[in-house]
Amino acid sequence: MLNQEDEPDGVPNRTCVCLWPDSNMRTDSKLQQQKYMKTWPMDLGSKLEVVKPYLGKYRPFVGRCCQRCTPESWKSFFHKHLASLGFCNVIKITEENTRYRGWLVRRLCCFLTVCDWQFFDDTPNNLQERIFHSKRVQDIVSQKVSQGKGDAPVASVSVAQWVKDIHRILCQIQSSLSPFLLRVCSWALLKLLNQMFLNVILHKGQLEMVHRAAKTADVPVVFLSCHKSELDGLLLPLLLVSQGLSMPRVSWEYKPYTSKHRALLTRLGGMFLPPAVEQVSDSQMGVLSRAVLASYLDELLLSKRRLLIFLEEPFSGVPQLSASGREWLALVFSALQMGTVPDVLMVPVGLSYDVAPTWIHRGQVSPIQPCSLWRLFWTICQAACQGLGCARVDFAQPFSLQEYIANSSFRQSSSGKHLEELLLPEIFGKCPMILDCEKLEYRSPNSYGAVALNMKQQTLVDNFSLHSLSIAVSCSAIMAVGITSALLLHKHWEGVFLSQLMQDFVWLTEEILLRNYDVGFSGQVRHVVLHALFLLQPCISFHRLSLGDVLVAPRRTEAAVTELSRHSATLLPVFIQEAVGACAVNALLVELLPYLGSPEQLRDAVFVQDELYYKTALLVQLLPRDVVLRQPCQSMYDYCRVAVDKLIQDGLLVAEEMASSRLVCDTSQRNFAKNLLWKATNDFEDSDSDYDEQAGKQCFKLSHQENCMDAFMFLCCLLGPLLKTLRRALVFLGESECLQPESQYMEKLHQFLVRTAKEDCSFECANKTLAVVSISICKELGVLRELPGKTEPIFQLSGTFTDKENRKKLGKFIEQFIWQSAY
């Protein structure tokens, strides 16, 4: 939440920024929140004055592209002065945004501004004809016509039928833009956004980078966005058009919407993957749909049409790559490699909401029924009534797709193993495999892509998707509601005094900024925290004490815990490496616990560096790559080393000299250390020498500093919901039937998670998104096998895990990473 007045150029001298902008806030709602704040004690004994949204001189300028993969792009479109251009509120429309002045203009400024917007449509008028004469479609048409009897009338009828099919497929993908409908919907959306949000903030420096990229000759721009709400597909095009950029084509999911809803979205610039692309590769309609879709995207790129592709699954509690987003990216890759365009500039986009306007309820990933126009209208109305949150949009640095492909293809290695080959030997107590080997991506045997790619190209698209998602997530600002929810859920589950909550809020904010993530707020600590508590009222309870302080406690209802978990999940990408390292340390503590007299002695346990790396590598391999956000250009060892180093930098681990009287957690008798590839060639150390065996024997122990254990528990709890859900999914395997369709299996699993969550109030585990991630891990591990079905895959428990003892070993392997309250 930033002041509506733009910050002056240069280094800002003030650190206290107004939280409640008068020019953008409804009077009745403002008075309501001011009244809410006055009910709190004024003197809480805290000396905290403001939350500084930056450390040192400048705010963190997030979203730089990868210097290793795109070194030339690293130097382009970015200058140091861009970081000091300040912010603007996109939904704040005044008479200054129009060409007119006066009393009437001030009341009609929103309408007049929308009328001046230019909704450029560069799509060719003869699009259908151009697609029909494209090489891909003509190859299919000529092949089918030549299979006729050779009679001319039959051939002409066949061609006419193909033209009709092409038209039908094209109508499923897109429609021509309606300028009148776009202006009406933009005006209505602006009015609703002012009711739903205090402000929608955009960094002017990032916007300047996008404008420079858009001016590049003969190079189209593709926006790769996170997906936090169904509002994203309407908000981002409105934002781009309002800032003088052309209207983008927006990728939407096909199944979640009714036919009327899809027709409206296509008139507003939406585009859909036709359902026939999911059919078998040799089906007539599937082949034609893929050819029409690829030709359609070629025409869009040739006309320099902006594209907006959502990389992330909607409503996901953890970073999760979208299947449809990968298909659109594969089409862009194919167009570039076919020489349709010389290059494509990619712009990752980060989105942040205090309270995202979605219809999520009780952990549902998406609505069971397709989204109708009435459901959409009702959702927006509910968000408008709850409102008064803030939103933030961040654009990362544009980078060249051609440069990324050239550099990645040069470094890309074909070596790799499936997760089943990597972890099962360790789980079953056999000789472990080399853990710095790259994990191959699991592919469903029934999946068919929108474009035919070989294995090398598929790996390249997967790596690029993960790379772009990592950048988009890293440039997403962290909101006050997410920080407060994480503190209440993972650190102060029993309740906390408001004064202590404010101190912890400042501590966590500083930790976020130190990791080069930005925050979407500034102002007095008291106002920022009370703003977050105001938005979280249904999830928390307040108790006024005689000491003058207030006790804040989260409610233990299903709705409250689910809501807090959804907000706190935004912090997982910030601390994901520390969380993985903390869970690895927890696994070592679990191994030592049976040999000690009491849990208190664990504080004096000493860990060998090699064993820390090994346990960290086990967990990194177990979790999906998009969850741990490990970029493809980063080696396994480098990721694990950074995870352990961050724990050392945070003061959670301290160096310790080995002594014979101390219990050292060392399993070097396995001799796995000498087999690791990174010990033979280590390119990540500062020294010129190879890996030093003595350095690998360095020892560490948990710090005895105050609050060390609380910080350690906080990091473990961030990954706790996912690991607990995975463990419970394995328990469900023993109760499920042998053969079940995917949808039926998922529904029964979710019911099982809800039932088990009621026993200990761990409703954060009863989340369908986490259930989906758990199932994907089970498939990669070979626990579940996919069999072909008529309409959807059928799950079957593999022969290895029909044995109860093997399932028990796998469950024990996962449990070692879960935080134990006995410590």
Residue boundaries of the structural domains of the chain: 22-56+478-571, 78-121+171-411, 720-815
Q: Give the range with max mean pLDDT: 545-549, 569-573, 708-712.
A: 569-573
Domain 720-815 has CATH 3.40.50.620: no
pLDDT in the model for residue 132: 86
Domain 22-56+478-571 has CATH 2.40.128: no
pLDDT in the model for residue 671: 42
Cα–Cα distance between 701 and 193 in angstroms, integer?
Answer: 51
pLDDT in the model for residue 15: 31
pLDDT in the model for residue 802: 87
Is pLDDT above 50 for 28?
Answer: no
Cα–Cα distance between 113 and 180 in angstroms, integer?
Answer: 14
Query: Where on the phi/psi map is residue 613: left (φ > 0), alpha (ψ -120 to 50), or beta?
Result: alpha
Nearest to 757 by CA among 362, 450, 388: 362
Nearest to 720 by CA among 676, 677, 673, 757: 757
Q: Which residue has the higher pLDDT, 639 or 20?
A: 639
pLDDT in the model for residue 11: 30
CA distances from 577 to 93, 583, 600, 633 (A): 41, 10, 26, 16
Q: How far is CA 481 from the centre of its chain?
A: 17
Is pLDDT above 80 for 202?
Answer: yes
Q: How far is CA 630 from the centre of its chain?
A: 13
How much of the chain exceeds pLDDT 90, in percent?
34
List, in order, residues 6 or more apart from 546 with CB less than 8 Å away.
Answer: none
Tens of pLDDT, residue by residue over 460-494, are 999 999 999 999 999 999 999 999 999 999 999 99
Strand runs (DSSP E) across 112-207, as ranges?
197-203
Confidence of residue 517 (pLDDT cuts 50, 70, 90): very high
pLDDT in the model for residue 555: 93
Cα–Cα distance between 701 and 653 in angstroms, integer?
Answer: 5
Residue range 671-682: average pLDDT? 44
Cα–Cα distance between 190 and 196 in angstroms, integer?
Answer: 10
Write the single-letter amino acid at 225. Answer: S
Q: Lowest-pLDDT range, 50-59, 253-262, 362-371, 431-440?
A: 362-371
Torsion angle of the four alpha carbons 297, 303, 308, 309, in this order, in degrees rounded to the nearest 10: 20
* Backbone phi and psi for residue 226, each to the nearest 5 degrees, phi listed first: -65, 170
Is pLDDT above 80 for 385?
Answer: no
pLDDT in the model for residue 522: 83
Torsion angle of the four alpha carbons 207, 211, 213, 214, in this order, in degrees rounded to the nearest 10: 130
Is pLDDT above 80 for 775?
Answer: yes
In this structure, are residues 362 and 31 in contact, taking their beta carbons and an 8 Å threshold? no
pLDDT in the model for residue 813: 94
Nearest to 512 by CA among 488, 550, 547, 486: 486
The SS3 call for residue 519 is: strand
In this structure, are residues 578 and 718 in contact, taking their beta carbons and an 8 Å threshold? no
Q: Which two tokens stand for residue 183?
A: 């202006």
pLDDT in the model for residue 310: 94
pLDDT in the model for residue 464: 93
b (16+ CB within 10 A) / e for 463-494: bbbbbbbbbbbbbbbbbbbbbbbbbbbbbbbe
pLDDT in the model for residue 533: 94
In this structure, are residues 161 and 231 in contact, taking their beta carbons and an 8 Å threshold? no
Is the whole-model pTM more than 0.85? yes
Cα–Cα distance between 116 and 108 in angstroms, integer?
Answer: 13
pLDDT in the model for residue 752: 92
Is pLDDT above 70 for 446?
Answer: no
Q: How many CA atoms lie within 13 A of 135 on its CB side?
A: 4
Write the single-letter amino acid at 559. Answer: A
Confidence of residue 279 (pLDDT cuts 50, 70, 90): low
Q: How many CA atoms lie within 13 A of 307 on its CB side?
A: 30
Cα–Cα distance between 67 and 71 in angstroms, integer?
Answer: 5
Residue 257 DSSP class: B
Q: How many CA atoms lie within 13 A of 762 on its CB side?
A: 15
Is pLDDT above 60 for 686?
Answer: no
Confidence of residue 369 (pLDDT cuts 50, 70, 90): low
The angle that helices 804-815 and 419-427 make with each other, rounded to 10 degrees, is 90
Residue 417 DSSP class: B
Cα–Cα distance between 82 and 204 in angstroms, integer?
Answer: 8
pLDDT in the model for residue 569: 92
Residue range 743-759: average pLDDT? 89
Confidence of residue 75 (pLDDT cuts 50, 70, 90): confident
pLDDT in the model for residue 454: 82
Residue 346 DSSP class: E
Confidence of residue 92 (pLDDT cuts 50, 70, 90): confident
Tell me the β-bridge partners of 249: 307
Cα–Cα distance between 656 and 513 in angstroms, integer?
Answer: 29
Confidence of residue 501 (pLDDT cuts 50, 70, 90): very high
In this structure, are residues 782 and 420 in contact, taking their beta carbons and an 8 Å threshold? yes
Q: How far is CA 407 from the centre of its chain?
A: 25
List, in order, residues 6 or more apart from 168 with CB less than 8 Å away.
Answer: none
Residue range 591-599: average pLDDT? 73
Residue range 564-591: average pLDDT? 93
Give the dihedral sign, CA 365/445/465/622. Answer: positive
- Comparing 22-56+478-571 with 720-815, is the CATH topology the same? yes
Q: Lowest-pLDDT range, 165-169, 212-216, 317-321?
A: 317-321
CATH no., domain 78-121+171-411: 3.40.1130
Is pLDDT above 50 for 693?
Answer: yes
pLDDT in the model for residue 33: 46
Strand runs (DSSP E) across 311-378, as ranges?
345-353
pLDDT in the model for residue 661: 47
CA distances from 370 to 254, 358, 366, 697 (A): 10, 14, 9, 57
Q: Lowest-pLDDT range, 212-226, 304-318, 465-479, 511-525?
A: 304-318
pLDDT in the model for residue 3: 37
**Considering the chain, what is the average pLDDT of its residues?**
80
Residue range 82-88: average pLDDT? 81
Q: Which residue has the higher pLDDT, 693 or 490?
A: 490
Q: Which residue has the higher pLDDT, 12 or 174?
A: 174
The SS3 call for residue 349 is: strand
The SS3 call for residue 321 is: strand
Cα–Cα distance between 72 and 62 in angstroms, integer?
Answer: 18
Q: Dump the DSSP string for 496-507.
A: EEHHHHHHHHHH
Tell me the β-bridge partners of 45: none
pLDDT in the model for residue 448: 64
- Classify residue 143 by burial, with Cβ atoms within 10 Å: 0-12, 13-18, 19+: exposed
Place of tokens 């033209």: 163
Is pLDDT above 50 for 708?
Answer: yes
Query: Where on the phi/psi map is residue 547: left (φ > 0), alpha (ψ -120 to 50), or beta?
Result: alpha
* Backbone phi and psi for residue 144, each to the nearest 5 degrees, phi listed first: -75, -35
Tell me the β-bridge partners of 653: 702
Tell me the β-bridge partners of 54: none
In this structure, are residues 471 and 73 in contact, taking their beta carbons and an 8 Å threshold? no
Nearest to 100 by CA among 91, 109, 92: 109
Cα–Cα distance between 672 and 536 in angstroms, integer?
Answer: 49
How much of the chain exceeds pLDDT 70, in percent?
78
CA distances from 136 to 126, 289, 803 (A): 17, 11, 50
Cα–Cα distance between 347 and 741 in angstroms, integer?
Answer: 38
C-alpha angle 743-782-445 in degrees, rounded to nearest 5: 60
List, in order, residues 6 or more apart from 388 with CB less than 8 Å away.
Answer: 25, 29, 33, 197, 198, 534, 535
